[in-house]
Chain A
Amino acid sequence: MAVMSYLEAGKAALAAEMRDDASVWALGEDLGRGGVFGQYRGLVDEFGPARIVDTPISEATIMGAAVGAALLGTRPVVEMRFADFALCAVDELVNQAAKARYMFGGQGRVPLVARQPIGMWRSSAAQHSQSLESWYAHIPGLVVVCPFTPADNYGLLRAAIRCDDPVVYMEHKDLWAMTGEVDEAADLPLGKARLVREGSDVTLVAWSGVLRAVEAALPLLQDGPSVEVIDLRTIYPWDRDMVLDSVRRTGRLLVVHEAVATGGFGAEIAATVAGALFGNLKAPVRRLGAPRIPIPYSPPLEEACKISPAQIAETVHGML
């Protein structure tokens, strides 16, 4: 078991898949120099510029070219730098990658991975901070992954690269330096949540960077309500079974995500649980997400978008 940062884990996963499979390659801006966050540093030395491809600032063609190359059987790993920039490639991802297999009657597959880092990080303001996972969860054909731990970033990126479906892979920018143990031999499946902690009073479902706020909230809970924490990890397909089994026991659900609450993926989970377990619920289903405002620059203003540990603790108390 190795200790790695979240960033190193992603890099190690890509390198491992590139060693195992000659059809895997990566393309995006600045990859030869390590990528905007350094998550590709050194890979060009091992794999060469034909497989670690530096591209122009052409998001639409980075994604579209990956679609064409994937239809021919290669496995491109696309780097979009920021989920915000990936919006320049939404036609290529939503109209092309997600639909090619279906609309062509199964003649081709699009086994690409679109890495698009999400989340608030270093006062990055409205165009470098968004969490847009629910947009892609809405699109048939796509798999959406939001890893939180280094171990998951390693295992799930490997699984995403091996997957024959197009995968939107959303690392959180504020987690790059976080370290943790990584079992490189573990085989992590897409679509399975991680049980972070068992509990019997409230089921708390979260994913990605906001899980740090969840961890910080737990010690704040007075009188020790027992909170079961689930890290969803894969947003689509989400692990409905684990969530429903848990709420069946606890009778209470709180979903916490960094993305805007309105139309966020928490709404889908809340509606599913309310529909399936109405009779089991001991309290109304609750959601915590960002207010529906663009993410501001100034640190005290940005705080207004973030879910705080105190807010989580207070919400849990209110459900009991």
Chain B
Amino acid sequence: MAARANIDVERLLAHYRAMARIRAFEEAAERAHQEGHVKGAVHLSIGQEAVAAGVCIHLKREDLITTTHRGHGHTIAKGADTGAMLAELLGRASGTCQGKGGSLHIADFSIGMLGANGVVAAGLTIAVGAAHAVKLRGERRIVVCFFGDGATNRGPFLESLNWAKIYELPVLFVCEDNGFAASTRTRAMSAGPGPDARAESLGIPARTIDGNDVIAVDEAAGELVERVRAGAGPQFLLARTYRLKGHTASDLGAYRSAAEVEARKADDPLKRAAELLKVSGVADETIIAIDAEARAEIAAAWKSALGAPWPAVELAFTDVQDVRMPSWR
């Protein structure tokens, strides 16, 4: 890889560290699923880490995000504790949601993460509502809404973009386009030139970038976040990436060739960032150390999550509703 001009090596190292932590987490989640420790579905973001890292570096703790069924990366990049997240995947009481949500509904309100969502495109309406409340109360924070390309063919996509624009809400839409809507190529099911054109047709400025180039994501997200903060209304980022794993951890991916996936591994965002670090003069040992540190963090998190107690069955009956809360026996 050729050297790039004006690389901020420290910042790229920070990105690499964030991506390595997500990768280590996802690999642990995949292993845990294969070994039967994680019972429910797990949707891995391996290959898509640059989007989470490049966007979330611009967010403050009080800023808000919503994400999708494939939301571990965004959640980690926003600042959630990987131990509590793994405990959630294992269904333990010490999980971010007391084991009541699992991977699909992981959430950490303490760091402004308003929840992953099991329904495609459902996060968009919630994100614009959060942004509406932010504006109503005159707060300065912003909302970032992560969603996939598959979501762009659901009605709430159009409704939410239109909503954000007519009320000029402080929201950045990030379409993480991994090419697949479950096991179908999104392009085959989508009319028109793409999600960015759909956004622009509503007067929402859109930028399209190589979502596996963390520096490109960082730069574009930086500009768009700044505009949202300045009160310029909703902005749209289309980050093109590729899902290196199946739709879920049990999807063998019969709808695409192994050769296609192999070829796309050359474009792995961690690999690309590592190469860029090396040509910028960073020693191999430094990169290896970051990888090792990330794996060690996740290994420790895994150990503590696996040792954490199961929730007491009474917990199934809490937080249902205040008006006549159900009770166990």
Contact = CB atoms under 8 A, between A and B. Distances in A.
A191 interface: yes
B136 interface: yes
Contact of B323 (A50, A67, A76, A190): A190
Contact of B321 (A50, A92, A96, A140): A140
Interface string B286-329: 00000000000000000000000000000000111111101000
Contacts of A73: 133
A64 B156 contact: yes
Contacts of B131: 68
A61 B132 CA distance: 11
Given A95-B119, A104-B97, A74 B137 contact: yes
A56 interface: yes
B74 interface: no
Contact of A68 (B97, B101, B132, B326): B132
B129 A104 contact: no
A102 B64 CA distance: 20
Contacts of A101: 319-321
A91 B129 contact: no
A263 interface: no
Contacts of A103: 97, 100-101, 105, 107, 115
Interface in B91-144: 95-101, 105, 107-110, 114-115, 117-119, 122, 124-134, 136-137
Nearest to B311: A105
Q: Which of A51, A65, A76, A164 has its CB near the most chain B CB atoms (within 10 A)?
A: A65
Nearest to A96: B122
The interface centre, meaning the residue of A64, A101, A190 with most chain B CB atoms within 10 A of its CB, is A64
Given A69-B133, A140-B320, A142-B321, A102 B128 contact: no
Contacts of A142: 321
Given A104-B105, A108-B114, A68 B319 contact: no
Given A58-B163, A60-B156, A108-B114, A68 B321 contact: no
Given A64-B160, A69-B130, A143 B321 contact: yes
A106 B326 CA distance: 15
Interface string B132-176: 111011000000000000000001100110110010000000000
A107 B163 contact: no
A56 B164 CA distance: 11
Contacts of B108: 107
Contacts of B128: 61, 64-65, 68
A74 to B, nearest CB: 5
B321 A104 contact: no
A118 interface: no
Given A106-B98, A237-B323, A68 B159 contact: no
A64 B122 contact: yes
Contacts, number: 147
Q: Which of B100, B122, B133 has the most CB of A within 10 A?
A: B133
Nearest to A189: B323
Given A60-B155, A165-B322, A68 B136 contact: no
Considering residues B109, B115, B160, B323, which has the most beta carbons from chain A within 10 angstroms of its beta carbon? Answer: B323
Nearest to B167: A53
Interface residues of B, number: 48
Contacts of A72: 64, 130, 133-134, 137
Interface string A42-66: 0000000011000110101101111
B133 A74 contact: yes
Contact of A107 (B97, B125, B137): B97
Contacts of A66: 129
Interface string A87-117: 0000110011000111111111000000000
A141 interface: yes
A69 B129 contact: yes
B159 A71 contact: no
B162 A191 contact: no
A165 B321 CA distance: 6
A6 interface: no
A58 B159 contact: yes
B327 to A, nearest CB: 13
Contacts of A91: 119, 122
B324 A67 contact: no
Contacts of B160: 61, 64-65
B101 A69 contact: no
Interface of B: 64, 66, 95-101, 105, 107-110, 114-115, 117-119, 122, 124-134, 136-137, 155-156, 159-160, 162-163, 166, 318-324, 326
Given A68-B132, A72-B137, A107-B97, 17 more contacts: A55-B163, A61-B156, A65-B125, A66-B129, A67-B126, A68-B129, A68-B131, A68-B133, A70-B129, A74-B133, A102-B100, A105-B95, A105-B97, A105-B319, A106-B98, A163-B323, A165-B323
12 contacts: A60-B125, A60-B156, A61-B163, A64-B124, A64-B129, A65-B163, A68-B131, A68-B132, A69-B130, A91-B119, A103-B97, A191-B323
